[in-house]
Amino acid sequence: MRKEKVIFRYHPYDGKVIKARREIPYDVKLTARLVLDEICFNWNKAQLEAKLNSSIEEGNKEKFEQLREAYLDYIWE
């Protein structure tokens, strides 16, 4: 019996190329968002604490009261 041979020819495609994109799983997206949110929260809180401490050292009561109101949002639980 003769073996059948299969020959494939490559024909370049001249049309528009569509690239497949993998979707990131929901739990990975959620975890990344929560971690980023926690990092931003801690950085903003640290910056606000530094400004509060500098206003105390300067003795500026008006600035302290203004920053205190913003800081209350970070410490209520």
pLDDT tens sequence across 20-74:
888 889 999 999 999 999 999 999 999 999 999 999 999 999 999 999 998 988 8
- Is 19 part of any domain? no
- Per the structure, the complete domain to which residue 58 belongs is given by 45-77
- Is 14 part of any domain? no
* Domains identified in the chain, total number: 1
- Is 66 part of any domain? yes
- Local confidence band at 14 (pLDDT 50, 70, 90 cut-offs): confident
Separation of CA 30 from chain center: 10
Q: What is the dihedral of CA 10, 12, 13, 14, to 10 degrees?
A: -160
- Is 77 part of any domain? yes
The pTM of the whole model exceeds 0.95: no
- Is 61 part of any domain? yes
- Local confidence band at 8 (pLDDT 50, 70, 90 cut-offs): confident
- Is 16 part of any domain? no
How far is 67 from 24, CA to CA, in rounded Å?
39
- Is 56 part of any domain? yes
- Is 21 part of any domain? no
